[in-house]
Structure 1
Amino acid sequence: MTPPAPGTIRFAANLKWLFTEVPFEARFDAAAEAGFRAVEIAAPYVLPAAKVRRLLDDAGLRAVLINSPGGSASSPERNGSACIPQLRDTFRAGFDRAWEYADILGSPVIHVMAGIRPDGTDRDTAFAQYVENIAWAADRCKGSGLRLVLETINQRDAPGFLLTSQEQAADVIRTIGADHIELLFDIYHCQVGQGDVTTRLTALLPLIGHIQVADPPTRTEPGTGELAWDFLFGQLRRLGYDGWIGCEYRPATTTLDGLHWRRRHEDRPRTTAQRKAP
């Protein structure tokens, strides 16, 4: 596949958040029918990896990101387990499972979720465990072609989440120093947690491997909230960002009714005739 030109805007559907009008297995076809060519799969582990791969292939889609395993909504590891000292072995077994799924699905990226610092564990201890686990994961998949991304989640949506700023995540990446660890820059989480999105996006671009979008304050589709998306997508073009942009938002009404914003901003692939035209 020919790499996109720098500054090409292309979107991937997040199948946890979009097309929830249908069961998980039907979301692949729904995404393809809506014009998506790629998907993020936050939790592919609900099905055998071979079954998920068949769903991708049948729909003509590619997986561009999966998450490392998390627990149930009420569990300590609901947002990951990398920072929880008591779950060191759980994290490492989960990462190996994620790597197996990524290999079968053809996903080039795993989002390694940091987790929420447990009550009774001081921040320094949790942070040290996190850095140790990320360094272990990076070393484990070194040379495999797999890339790992780290994400900050705002404290309003996930109180106690270990990473509290984009810069903190970037510092972890620089500290470990592996070129296959990158930043997952979520525009929604940045705006809610810190603001000054464009300045941070510009400053951190050399470390950014993946971007996700939603519009604050309600995490709905771009164009329904407070951000200036024409400016933001224009800035990404000017900066030459050529990675995928994940649609990780809660549709204000239905998924299909809310996709008009994508047609406004996405650079659609040109046809053969268009490429030959003078």
Structure 2
Amino acid sequence: MEQVIFIVWRESVEAMLVIGILYAWLRANPDAKNGMKYLWGGVGVGLGLATILGAAILIFQDFFAGDAQDYFQMGMVLVASALIVQMVVWMRKHGRTLKRELEEGMAENAKAANWWGMLTLVAIAVAREGSETVIFLYGMGLAQEGTNMVNFVLSALSGFVLALFSFWILQAGSKVFSWRAFFRFSETLLLLLAASLLVTGVEKMQSFEWLPTLVDPIWDSSALLADTEGFGNLLAGLTGYRAQPSLMLVIFYAVYWAAVWFFLKKASHQTATKKPMMPAQAASEGKA
């Protein structure tokens, strides 16, 4: 359940950051106070869209039977893994300028009295985080077959409560705690989770005989750290560790981290070549 808590925590904090930036901007601009109801309206619409996606996934799953359902579930696990990587790369590319971009978009909408545009902006931001959370949780639920649903829901709620507390701490102690450090730490854990989901997907493809194992196992580290109990089981869930991996699994794992390194390096380079900010503006965004 640690993976569920972490995903809900991380995604909720990111959504709260977007809402917090826009809320603070509206509070600081009295002329734009009419935008508050559109802000919360956008939050409601975004949550509604994420809920619709969750319902759609469950409905589509019920249409499949037998092998088709297994294929659908395998696809969702792999989609969740890919989305996590995409999200991390997006945050690496936009994290430094997110506050500025949101505030500029808000200023343009306020100037034109385009509050419906602001509602759309907020709805898309919240729906994006919410839909990703739905897919991630669904993928992780499939990766942990036999998971108790009550524990699953309680873990999700725990992650949300933890996100509220974390957001309050980061906002209250912005001079001590760094948002940038928070996102760097959490993106590392997210990438490990994505690797774990990828491993689950590859193992399912091997069970369908879509992929050869090549050599199975290529090693056996069970005597040092078994992946079926205790810390080894936790490591397996968080990182995709396997005590007896096939050669094909190891190849996928290596290619995954090579691709992650390439895309993150590319995103960091694009961020570094963006138009430089004024010192005061850079200091403001450093806090965010």
TM norm structure 2? 0.21
Pair member with larger Rg: 2
TM-score normalised according to structure 1 size: 0.22
Higher relative contact order (CA 8 A, sep 6+): 2
